[in-house]
Amino acid sequence: LIDKGSLPNPGGSTGHASNFIFLTDHSKEMTLFTLDSVRQYKELGVFTQSGGVEVARTTERMDELKRRMASSKAWGIDAELVSPAEVKRLVPFINEKIILGGFSTPGIGTVDSLRGGTLMREKAQAMGALTVVASTEVTGIDVENGRVRRVRTDKGDIETETVVITSGIWSPRLARMAGAAIPLSPAVHQMISVGPVPLFADTVGEIKYPIIRDMDTNGYERQHGGDLEVGSYDHRPILWEPDDIPSLGQSKLSPTELPFTKEDFDESLEHALELIPDILGDPSVGIRHAINGLLSLTPDGLPLLGETPEVKGLWSVAAIWIKEAPGIARCVAEWMTSGVPEIDPSGSDIARFYDHQKTRAHIRGRTAEGFNKTYGIVHPREQWESNRRVRVSPFYEREKALGAVFFETAGWERPNWYASNRPLLDEYGERVMPRRYEWDARWWSPIINAEHLAMR
């Protein structure tokens, strides 16, 4: 293990993370990673179960919480939909009058991630399976005949045929040393900590009350001892280049904790005040800490796992969040040693990206667009708007003239239906089967069915 910083906190995103874990994802793969991670955190004794509630301010969000409830049932997670009054019972400092309900999961909690990392390192060292080299900078990765051969550092070279890049927001820089690409962008996530909170004065330990996700406003609130942390994904996308991140010596706090831009957070704070007026409206409670924290975003919001297509023996474990880190680590270890991990990582395989999707324009365009969808209601068929028309067929202009509605596949613009075929709806009448539910009918048209009938 080589790290440029000192351990246990070398200055990466983990050091400032809010460290809470919500269990349910619509993706089975990501949910399984999360559940395995919680199991490992519990075994290490670094997980504190507090419960968590996702609240809905709108009917659209309440419908989404019902879909999340369906995913919870499918993945075997204990959860329930609750009324505003029940949310108030669980979280007594919330303003239940502005919400329609909530999605409560008792198994949600927080983790001491730095302590967990330390315990894992110590265990691996005690087994003789790990050598730790901290405060050491990697200066190069040598590749011969398409395979990793050695790692160069400011303290000497290490001969090896396998390198795993686990460097978070700096991962693209290290991959570039070997002629490979790890398509991610560092992005700012804002967070403040306010306190002391009188209601939390009798709390024993780090957390007593459930964590809140107010996803209609792209925000969250969680107790941290005597303070309340308020985080937001509601601001403008603030992207950084890996090469422009301050060094350890240049950083006041850490390379991933940048100066707070208050103007980007003002609206988020107003939303939080609406939801938690008893705490945030208390004049005795002040802002004690505020940062623009850097985290890793990818063009499709998923991790980057597996051996890089460009270089044999060069593996990526990048764009990982606290909630799925140990589960992903076990998966990749199994992948590297047996080739058959217990959890299928296909959705996160770094090989899913085509060359045009590894360009700076694509990475920045998609991560900027995806940032504000972090807590968004995203339909499975929803199409990206950024970096489109990268690949078009010779018939594209003619298809466009016919009113084609294009969906993107591997960069190709492919027509899903033609508006010019709308008269077919009258021709086939009741044989065109509509979709009764609004959610099912999104990113779809009955013209598709009419076109199928016309082709038969």
Q: Could you read off the pLDDT of 237-293 as tens digits, one per residue? A: 999 999 999 888 888 889 999 999 999 999 999 999 999 999 999 999 999 999 999
How many folded domains does the chain comprise? 1
Give the model's pLDDT for residue 266: 97
- Structural domain includes residue 22: no
Give the model's pLDDT for residue 262: 97
- Structural domain includes residue 95: no
Give the model's pLDDT for residue 402: 98
- Structural domain includes residue 402: yes
Q: 429 is written with which tokens?
A: 């009448």
Average pLDDT over residues 150-158: 97
Say whether pLDDT at 29 is over 90. Answer: yes
For residue 108, what pLDDT band results from cuts at 50, 70 and 90?
very high
Whether 405 contacts 447, CB under 8 Å: no
- Structural domain includes residue 429: yes
For residue 188, which phi and psi values (nearest 5 degrees)? -85, 135
Give the model's pLDDT for residue 251: 83
pTM listed for this prediction: 0.94
- Structural domain includes residue 420: yes
Interval 2-24: pLDDT, tens: 999 999 998 899 988 999 999 99
As a whole-number percent, the residues of the chain with pLDDT over 90 amount to: 96
- Structural domain includes residue 434: yes
Say whether pLDDT at 35 is over 90. Answer: yes
Give the model's pLDDT for residue 405: 99
Give the model's pLDDT for residue 416: 98
- Structural domain includes residue 404: yes
- Structural domain includes residue 202: no
Residue 354, Cβ neighbours under 10 Å: how many? 15
Query: Domain containing 425: what range?
Result: 395-455
Mean pLDDT value across the chain: 97
Average pLDDT over residues 189-213: 96
